[in-house]
Amino acid sequence: MINLLENDPVHIAGVLVKAFPQNCEAVSQRLLSLPGTEIHEISDDGSMVVTVESTEKEKNIVDIITHMATLEGVLDTSLIFHHNDAGLVPHQAKSDNEPINFR
């Protein structure tokens, strides 16, 4: 998981992945092999709630999400949420006791 206090911009995407229920175990293993991927929920109907996290220095998050759709056993993928903090002031506190200044 990415530390949100990093200097580099962070991308977080929520993706709904659909597979046949009998393929969920194999598909989940394939998904977890992708960098920054975490599975949060797998339903009985084959729906999977997945997040992908990356920084600008890591592999492009769009490439990872696009690759998900091509994995064997995946029926469909839908981008549900995307967060990019590239426009925010760097998230570094000066010490543990000082608050972060976002101005």
Q: Is the pLDDT of residue 79 over 80?
A: yes
Q: State what percent of residues in the chain have pLDDT above 70.
A: 71
The 10s digit of each residue's pLDDT in 27-73 is 999 999 998 999 999 999 999 999 999 876 666 888 899 999 999 99
Domains and CATH numbers, the chain: 10-84 (3.30.70.920)
Number of Cβ within a 10 Å radius of residue 13: 22
Number of Cβ within a 10 Å radius of residue 98: 8
One-letter amino acid of 91: H
Please report where in the chains the tokens 């492009």 appear, as a residue: 60
Nearest to 13 by CA among 60, 46, 45, 47: 60
Predicted local confidence at residue 94, as pLDDT: 52
As a whole number of angstroms, the distance between CA 57 and CA 10 comes to 10
